[in-house]
Amino acid sequence: MSVARARIAAVETHDIRFPTSREHDGSDAMNPDPDYSAAYVVLRADVADCAGRELAGHGFAFTIGRGNDVQVAAINALRSHIVGRDLDELCADPGVISRALVGDSQLRWLGPEKGVMQMAIGAVVNAVWDLAAKRAGKPVWQFLADAEPEWLVSQIDFRYIEDALSRDEALELLRAGKAGSAERAARLREAGYPAYTTSPGWLGYSDEKLTRLAKQAVADGFTQIKLKVGADLEDDVRRFRAARAAVGDELRIAVDANQRWNVPEAVDWVGALAEFDPYWIEEPTSPDDILGHAAIRRAVAPVKVATGEHVQNRIVFKQLLQAGSIDILQLDSARVAGVNENLAILLLAAKFGVPVCPHAGGVGLCELVQHLSMFDYVALTGTTDDRVIEFVDHLHEHFTDPVRISGGSYLAPSAPGFSAEMHPESIATYRFPDGTFWMADLRERNEGVAA
């Protein structure tokens, strides 16, 4: 007797771009005009889920416009690794596909483990976790929190990090994290996970809009906001003063330079803002500059140093921790090679006792990363002290299971999967260049030229 095995039948990709630059949403010192975009991938299985719907895994890389096509091409280059894979095997052990993608020696040359190829692997690996969690009928945070420590450790590639975190140490941390996890899961479902908001602080916003949104953030229950800085010191002083006036002395205000400075410049600039009590300085310089961050941290204390949204992999995070470069680790769900590598990063942070406050915003990054922080709380570090997930109130309406914020906290997702699925209408509208929005936009431009 032979039973047909369920398989991945197709890998679909879409170049999705939102025209966010027209409202200066997301504008900062390095990125004046981002068009928030997703290189989006769908892994289609040849079976239905338990509700009779077509079963599929969804994932994406986040980019800010031009080059989203290059990112899609990189995901397409991974297609032959996925199509035809046995669905049960894939879902039972996502580490297999994770290692296959990272270890493809010809594709590895294009990184290694960084940039466009790394994000492509992240998109596909995250789509596999979406699929695995859907099959298990659990949201990813719970899927991870329910897993055995031995299995979680088997999902991690310890290459290049063993000198800082051994397999045994990881196992010990995960075993310790199990104690009290059921109670914490219950508390999470009740109270959610603390958030902070960046919505008031975009560089392109007027002082009036900044003040209004900062006050709104307090009214909404947030205990921290963030301002973009680094383009012009005089402007930054004025905006920071306005923000402080709007929120009072108690609320934490973080600032974010988006890599704008050299090391000495960062030290001077943060010094000039010190009177307004910045909670952390985020991305003061290049994310590659491990030693530079360490020098900045020594100089600007007690202001904390945070980075991570552009950190390429676990190896750089390892060194940021080893060198004492950061007070806050800003993990990103879609910059590194997916859940498997993020497990390694969460464990490194736990080992070094550095709180993780994830980067989010963009397209769908809030949706993804909440699962990782919630797993960390329930089954790894067991605490939300000094931990907040970034929240930006943009583009959630395009997702079928959008984040829910209440009283300044992320509520725990309950739908199975990774909250990564977009509405078919959003894809049809914003696919570049042939979605209905972009086709209409092109017609308007052409008419503008003709007129």
Count of residues engaged in binding a second copy, rule: CB under 8 A: 60
For residue 319, the minimal CB distance to a second copy (Å) is 5
Per-residue contact flags (x/-) with a second copy for residues 137 to 176, judged by CB under 8 A: ---------------------xxx-xx-------------
Contact range with a second copy by CB under 8 A, out of 177-185, 212-220, 288-296, 384-392:
288-296
Quick one: 66 or 445, whose CB is closer to a second copy? Answer: 66
* Residue 316 engages a second copy in binding (rule: CB under 8 A): yes
* Known catalytic residue at 293: no
| Catalytic member of 14, 318, 359, 398 | 359
Contact range with a second copy by CB under 8 A, out of 85-93, 310-318, 347-355, 422-430:
310-318
* Known catalytic residue at 215: no
Per-residue contact flags (x/-) with a second copy for residues 63 to 82, judged by CB under 8 A: xxxxx-xxx-xx--x-----
- Please list every residue from 169 through 228 that binds a second copy, using CB under 8 A: none
For residue 117, the minimal CB distance to a second copy (Å) is 6
* Residue 324 engages a second copy in binding (rule: CB under 8 A): no
- Residue 113: CB atoms within 10 A of its CB come to 21
* Residue 30 engages a second copy in binding (rule: CB under 8 A): yes
- Please list every residue from 82 through 111 that binds a second copy, using CB under 8 A: 104-111
- Please list every residue from 244 through 263 that binds a second copy, using CB under 8 A: 259, 262-263
Quick one: 32 or 221, whose CB is closer to a second copy? Answer: 32
For residue 116, the minimal CB distance to a second copy (Å) is 4
* Residue 285 engages a second copy in binding (rule: CB under 8 A): yes
* Residue 288 engages a second copy in binding (rule: CB under 8 A): yes
Quick one: 191 or 315, whose CB is closer to a second copy? Answer: 315
Positions in the binding site for a second copy (CB under 8 A):
30-35, 63-67, 69-71, 73-74, 77, 104-119, 158-160, 162-163, 259, 262-264, 285-292, 295, 310, 312-313, 315-316, 318-319, 322-323
Q: Which residues are catalytic?
A: 228, 359
